[in-house]
């Protein structure tokens, strides 16, 4: 008999486990179980003759039928097997990965300057019809009374942060820095942008 066949026989394993547990409850009496009792407790509708034969062939149990009642007792070999089996089950349960924890959604709160940058880039995109707009134009839109070159360094740092958050994309074309507001970025300022249009 192959070990694999026995391990796949749920009725055989459960009967062996039941005989083991019953014996442990009262070692002095070397307690036996009846097949009929095992079937009732395990909810088996049909007599597991094949399972009993497998266990007996492996010398894991001793089975004897008297006046139509089959008595089952576990052997030393069966006891050793079920103890190792229990250890394997315990080891597997400990090794099983813990259930995945629900992901925690972290909402990033935009700074005032980041919000203004996204709003300005969105306005310029809609006015020009171009997906990418010059960063210099965005800075000028935010600071119309200042020299854009003096504000460019801070604007670049903000764009890099927004790009990391996937709120913006950037590229270079003809040595000019171009920026684009992503869908995620637009959703973050959508309400403010639409209120500005209505106002």
Residue 61 — very low, low, confident or very high, per pLDDT cuts 50/70/90?
A: confident
Average pLDDT on 94-123 reads: 80
Residue 109 — very low, low, confident or very high, per pLDDT cuts 50/70/90?
A: confident
Average pLDDT on 142-167 reads: 87
Cα angle: 36, vertex 38, 41; to 5 degrees: 110
> Residue 105 class from Cβ within 10 Å (0-12 exposed, 13-18 middle, 19+ buried)?
exposed
Strand order in the sheet with 33-34: 33-34, 69-74, 61-66
Average pLDDT on 147-170 reads: 88
- Residue 167 CB coordination number (10 Å): 24
Evaluate if residue 199 carries a pLDDT over 50: no
Q: Residue 5: what are its φ and ψ, rounded to 5°?
A: -65, -40
Average pLDDT, the chain: 84
- Angle, in degrees to the nearest 10, between helices 135-142 and 112-128: 120
Evaluate if residue 34 carries a pLDDT over 60: yes
pLDDT in tens, 127-143: 999 999 999 999 999 98
- Angle, in degrees to the nearest 10, between helices 135-142 and 148-164: 110
The proportion of the chain whose per-residue pLDDT surpasses 90, expressed as a percent, equals: 24
Specify the pLDDT at position 191.
86
Q: What is the DSSP string of 31-87?
A: --EEHHHHHHHHT-SS--HHHHHHHHHTTSEEEEEETTEEEEEE-HHHHHHHHHHHH
In the chain, the domains with their CATH numbers are 3-95 (1.10.10.10), 112-198 (1.10.10.10)
The proportion of the chain whose per-residue pLDDT surpasses 70, expressed as a percent, equals: 90
Handedness of CA 11, 17, 20, 26 (dihedral sign): negative
* Half-sphere exposure of residue 138: CA atoms within 13 angstroms, side-chain side: 32
Average pLDDT on 70-75 reads: 86
pLDDT in tens, 16-33: 888 888 877 765 555 678
Specify the pLDDT at position 149.
82
């Amino acid at each position: 008999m192959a070990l694999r066949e026995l391990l796949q026989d749920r009725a055989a394993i459960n009967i062996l486990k039941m005989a083991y547990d019953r014996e442990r409850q009262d070692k002095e009496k070397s307690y036996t179980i009846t097949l009929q009792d095992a079937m009732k407790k395990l909810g088996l509708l049909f007599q597991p003759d094949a399972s009993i034969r497998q266990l007996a062939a492996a010398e894991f149990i001793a089975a004897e039928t008297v006046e139509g009642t089959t008595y089952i007792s576990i052997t030393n070999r069966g006891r050793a097997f079920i103890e190792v089996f229990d250890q394997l089950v315990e080891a597997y349960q400990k090794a099983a990965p813990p259930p995945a924890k629900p992901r925690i959604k972290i909402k990033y709160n935009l700074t005032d300057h980041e919000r203004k940058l996204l709003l300005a880039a969105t306005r310029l995109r809609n006015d020009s019809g171009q997906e990418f707009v010059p960063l210099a134009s965005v800075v000028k839109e935010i600071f119309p009374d200042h020299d854009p070159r003096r504000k460019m360094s801070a604007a670049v740092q903000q764009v890099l942060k927004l790009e990391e958050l996937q709120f913006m994309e950037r590229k270079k074309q003809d040595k000019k820095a171009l920026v684009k507001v992503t869908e995620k970025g637009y959703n973050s300022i959508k309400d403010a942008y639409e209120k500005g249009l209505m106002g």
